[in-house]
Amino acid sequence: MTEEQINSNNGSYSAENIQVLEGLEAVRKRPAMYIGDISTKGLHHLVYEVVDNSIDEALAGYCDHIEVTINEDNSITVQDNGRGIPVDFHEKEKKSALEVVMTVLHAGGKFDKGSYKVSGGLHGVGVSCVNALSTHMTTQVFRNGKIYQQEYECGHPLYPVKEIGTSDITGTRQQFWPDNTIFTETVYNYEILATRMRELAYLNAGIKITLTDLRVKDEENNAKMEVFYSEEGLKEFVRYIDSSREHLVNDVIYINTEKQGTPVEVAIMYNTSYNENIHSYVNNINTIEGGTHLAGFRRALTRTLKKYAEDNKMLEKAKVEIAGDDFREGLTAVISIKVAEPQFEGQTKTKLGNSEVMGAVDQAVGEALNYYLEEHPKEAKMVVDKVILAAQARVAARKARESVQRKSPMSGGGMPGKLADCSSKDPEECELFLVEGDSAGGSAKQGRDRRFQAILPLRGKILNVEKAMWHKAFESDEVNNIIQALGIRFGVDGEDSKEANIDKLRYKKVIIMTDADVDGSHIDTLIMTLFFRYFPQVIRNGYLYIATPPLYLCKKGKVEEYCWTDQQRQKFIDTYGGGSENAVHTQRYKGLGEMNPEQLWSTTMNPENRMLKQISIENAAEVDYIFSMLMGEDVGPRRDFIEKNATYANIDA
Ligand code: 0RA
């Protein structure tokens, strides 16, 4: 590739560009189709998309350092030390390969025959999408001793690729400014990026990822910075996820191998809790709906443990039939595989369909687990004993559940007595408010629109399911009321499956409504934990919300305004009181009970002007870690967690 070839593009821009631009205009017209959405989530996906290309270069063996920088103006810079995107003249497209990569949809891996693109954001759309959705983007390639550069506006090149200097490093540097006419949010959240970079570092041992935030400086004017690097990959990842749980066995059972052409990495740890936490990934994508790799893992785990226990005559005294779930109580595991042509299925396209993968994972896990059990009889016995306990608890749980169903006068369709149901039966429009306390519950009943809003008052403490055995939840009236009201069923396949079935969910908005104080936030967390551990599908589908009652009622003469933040309150004081506190009357609401039904309706329940926070699980491994950490008594971090993980959105607007 010579300089003349690069520059020979000069005159011939318009014609070719029209075609290219059509592709990228489509991205600008329907951005959500390409990157999921145009809110915070989509904004952060832009970074993942760019980083994924560098990860691919690292997985190909040519790059071991990726630097991500949040610049002061909320632009992002990603630089790697790979080979640099090729800048050769591309015969078919009649322009530099670099320009093709940057301006043609899905052009990413075209030039690298022989190696496949394994990494890839959920949408895997390529860096050209990022380019299309940025007001400005600058790409620099360090290669052949030279520095090449091209800049773009909304995906349109401003000039052909040019040389701008010499350099003895190699790599690629991209900087982009997300388009604020497309994204509803353009301020980057450090924690969201840090969480994904940490996860990527664990999933790809040996790659150093640095994250720098130039917007935040310490006393010595040093920018905020973190280095994510893992020597041992998933082995360290499970230790991190389980770091605040009590280990049943100290070892991590670890496999890193290749079976039938599929690279398989698995790490397993048992803890003393009652939850199953399996996180699975395909090509660095979190497959939250599971799939064939997860099925292979489960099958191997069940078969191998069962056989070991039987061979050693450990099950005879148990007197209960062991079920698949029993082998996974207190299990934390991470499965990461690489597949050349993954088939993603399911509602959110995060379920792996490739059937050949099942056997590969099954074989890898079976061999490694069998080897571990044979070598560690003491630890093996502790695991099997825990499995037996789980089976016994499960049987107890079924009995408790059956007795509840017997007790409730109308089995099948029977609703808890405390539920004030709505008249509509269409789940799409129905809302269930879970309200703290009977008195607030009373106000909510009077204030609601009974056509589509149902009220379930919750009395007393919600069980901390993080600390309790699985079946304990079904002994709790509050939990059973929630399950019955929602229409959630367990073990519908005749088995004592822990998997909740939400096919008959009666409300597609479930709204937690508690006081805007520390106790209220504690209750929010307990309810969220219950949903996360027992029916996470409700959260994943985006059905769980937190109501936000106002903090103040500000008055001046006849003017009345509710305020949700101190800034809003200050603005009212400035506007109506000429900046003087004393000139206006501001009333602090401490609890829902201080509002009459009319006020509760107009501020917190009326879809026209309420503010709901939608609860989402962006990163299940991190949420798993955080919930296990929050079991403790300290309320501070809980609140941080809620703030961090709630998507603030007036979703009714
Ligand atoms: C295809 C071929 C080659 C490098 C890359 C892609 C590449 C892409 C990106 C995107 C971000 N960083 C990257 N680093 C490399 C190299 C082909 C060769 O040198 O022979």
CATH of the domain at 517: 3.40.50.670
Say if residue 112 is in the same domain as residue 190. yes
- Of the two residues 582 and 335, the one the predictor is more confident about is 335
For 244-276, write each residue's pLDDT tens digit: 899 999 999 999 999 999 999 999 999 999 999
Whether the CB of 82 sits within 6 Å of ligand 1: yes
Residue 575 belongs to some domain of the structure: no
Residue 112 belongs to some domain of the structure: yes
Residue with CA closest to ligand 1 atom 12: 54
Say if residue 385 is in the same domain as residue 524. no
Tell which one of 49, 57, 174 to mutate to probe ligand 1, the residue whose CB is within 8 A of the most ligand atoms.
Answer: 57
Catalytic-residue membership of 242 = no
pLDDT of residue 87: 95
pLDDT of residue 272: 93
Q: Is the pLDDT of residue 517 over 70?
A: yes
Residue with CA closest to ligand 1 atom 4: 85
How large a percentage of the chain has pLDDT more than 70? Answer: 88
Spell 507-531 as b/e; 16+ CB within 10 A means b: bbbbbbbbbbeeebbbbbbbbbbbb
Is 50 in contact with 76 (CB distance < 8 Å)?
Answer: yes
- Under the banding of pLDDT at 50, 70 and 90, the label for residue 347 is confident
For 271-304, write each residue's pLDDT tens digit: 999 999 999 999 999 999 999 999 999 999 999 9
- Under the banding of pLDDT at 50, 70 and 90, the label for residue 542 is very high
CA of 57 to the centre of ligand 1 (A): 6
CA of 94 to the centre of ligand 1 (A): 19
Range of the domain at 122: 3-228
CATH number, domain at 306? 3.30.230.10
State the catalytic residue, choosing from 517, 566, 574, 598: 517
- Of the two residues 524 and 633, the one the predictor is more confident about is 524
Whether the CB of 555 sits within 6 Å of ligand 1: no
For 7-24, write each residue's pLDDT tens digit: 333 434 444 444 555 688
Say if residue 413 is in the same domain as residue 371. no
Say if residue 375 is in the same domain as residue 423. no
Whether the CB of 128 sits within 6 Å of ligand 1: no
Of 367, 394, 421, at which residue does a domain stop?
A: 394
Of 200, 228, 256, at which residue does a domain stop?
A: 228
* Cα within 13 Å of Cα(190), Cβ side: 15
Question: What is the bridge-based pairing of β-strands 285-286 and 277-282?
Answer: antiparallel
Q: Cα separation of 175 and 435, whole Å? A: 47
Q: What mean pLDDT comes out for the span 339-355?
A: 92
- Under the banding of pLDDT at 50, 70 and 90, the label for residue 646 is very low
Q: What angle do CA 323, 380, 360 make, to 5 degrees?
A: 65
Whether the CB of 62 sits within 6 Å of ligand 1: no
Catalytic-residue membership of 519 = yes
Determine whether the annotation assigns residue 515 to a binding site: yes
Q: Does residue 399 sit in helix, strand or coil? A: helix
Q: Cα separation of 103 and 23, whole Å? A: 8
Whether the CB of 622 sits within 6 Å of ligand 1: no
Other Cβ atoms within 10 Å of 72 Cβ, number: 12
Say if residue 384 is in the same domain as residue 415. no
CA of 63 to the centre of ligand 1 (A): 10
- Of the two residues 253 and 346, the one the predictor is more confident about is 253
pLDDT of residue 116: 44
Catalytic-residue membership of 265 = no
- 210 burial (CB, 10 Å; 0-12 / 13-18 / 19+) is middle
* Cα within 13 Å of Cα(235), Cβ side: 12
pLDDT of residue 106: 72
CA of 105 to the centre of ligand 1 (A): 16
Q: What is the pTM of this model?
A: 0.86
pLDDT of residue 310: 95
Whether the CB of 144 sits within 6 Å of ligand 1: no
State the catalytic residue, choosing from 436, 466, 561, 624: 436
- Under the banding of pLDDT at 50, 70 and 90, the label for residue 114 is very low
pLDDT of residue 89: 87
Task: State how far Cα 576 lies from the chain centre.
Answer: 43
Is 469 in contact with 400 (CB distance < 8 Å)?
Answer: no
pLDDT of residue 413: 57
Which tokens sit at 432?
A: 């269930």
CA of 140 to the centre of ligand 1 (A): 12
Instruction: Find the range with the poorest average confidence among 107-116, 460-469, 490-499, 605-614.
Output: 107-116
Q: Does residue 176 sit in helix, strand or coil? A: strand
Residue 468 belongs to some domain of the structure: yes
Say if residue 388 is in the same domain as residue 497. no
For 51-84, write each residue's pLDDT tens digit: 999 999 999 999 999 999 999 999 999 999 999 9
Residue 581 belongs to some domain of the structure: no
Residue 583 belongs to some domain of the structure: no
- Under the banding of pLDDT at 50, 70 and 90, the label for residue 522 is confident
For 193-216, write each residue's pLDDT tens digit: 999 999 999 999 999 999 999 999
Say if residue 58 is in the same domain as residue 139. yes
Say if residue 368 is in the same domain as residue 494. no
For 135-192, write each residue's pLDDT tens digit: 999 999 999 999 999 999 999 999 999 999 999 999 999 999 999 999 999 999 999 9
Domains in the chain, number: 3
Of 197, 228, 259, at which residue does a domain stop?
A: 228
Residue 594 belongs to some domain of the structure: yes
Is 379 in contact with 300 (CB distance < 8 Å)?
Answer: no
Determine whether the annotation assigns residue 517 to a binding site: yes
Spell 161-176 as b/e; 16+ CB within 10 A means b: bbeeeebeebbbbbbb
- Under the banding of pLDDT at 50, 70 and 90, the label for residue 113 is very low
CA of 213 to the centre of ligand 1 (A): 26
Length, in residues, of the chain: 653
pLDDT of residue 123: 52
Q: Is the pLDDT of residue 544 over 90?
A: yes
Spell 289-310 as b/e; 16+ CB within 10 A means b: bbbbbbbbbbbbbbbbbbebbe
Q: Cα separation of 158 and 138, whole Å? A: 10
Q: Is the pLDDT of residue 556 over 50?
A: yes
Tell which one of 83, 99, 127 to mutate to probe ligand 1, the residue whose CB is within 8 A of the most ligand atoms.
Answer: 83
CA of 212 to the centre of ligand 1 (A): 24
pLDDT of residue 652: 30
- Of the two residues 396 and 385, the one the predictor is more confident about is 385
Determine whether the annotation assigns residue 112 to a binding site: no
* H or E segment to which residue 89 belongs: strand 89-90
Is 238 in contact with 269 (CB distance < 8 Å)?
Answer: yes
Residue 635 belongs to some domain of the structure: no
Say if residue 509 is in the same domain as residue 611. yes
Q: Which amino acid is at 41?
A: K
Tell me the C-alpha to C-alpha distance, in Å, between residue 43 and each of 136, 179, 513: 15, 9, 29
Identify which of 116, 25, 35, 422 has the alpha carbon closest to the alpha carbon of residue 108. 116
Q: What mean pLDDT comes out for the span 380-395?
A: 94
pLDDT of residue 630: 81
Q: Is the pLDDT of residue 409 over 50?
A: no
Average pLDDT, the chain: 88
Kindly give, in sequence order, each residue whose CB lies less than 8 Å from that of residue 639, ignoring residues fewer than 6 positions away.
518, 521
Whether the CB of 254 sits within 6 Å of ligand 1: no
Whether the CB of 58 sits within 6 Å of ligand 1: no
Task: State how far Cα 403 lies from the chain centre.
Answer: 37
- Under the banding of pLDDT at 50, 70 and 90, the label for residue 493 is low
Say if residue 416 is in the same domain as residue 301. no
Say if residue 328 is in the same domain as residue 418. no
Other Cβ atoms within 10 Å of 358 Cβ, number: 19
Query: Residue 506: which region, alpha, beta or left (left: phi > 0; alpha: psi -120 to 50)?
Result: alpha
Residue 644 belongs to some domain of the structure: no
Say if residue 68 is in the same domain as residue 109. yes
DSSP 579: T
How large a percentage of the chain has pLDDT more than 90? Answer: 69
pLDDT of residue 1: 30
CATH number, domain at 70? 3.30.565.10
Whether the CB of 85 sits within 6 Å of ligand 1: yes
Whether the CB of 52 sits within 6 Å of ligand 1: no
Q: Does residue 458 sit in helix, strand or coil? A: strand
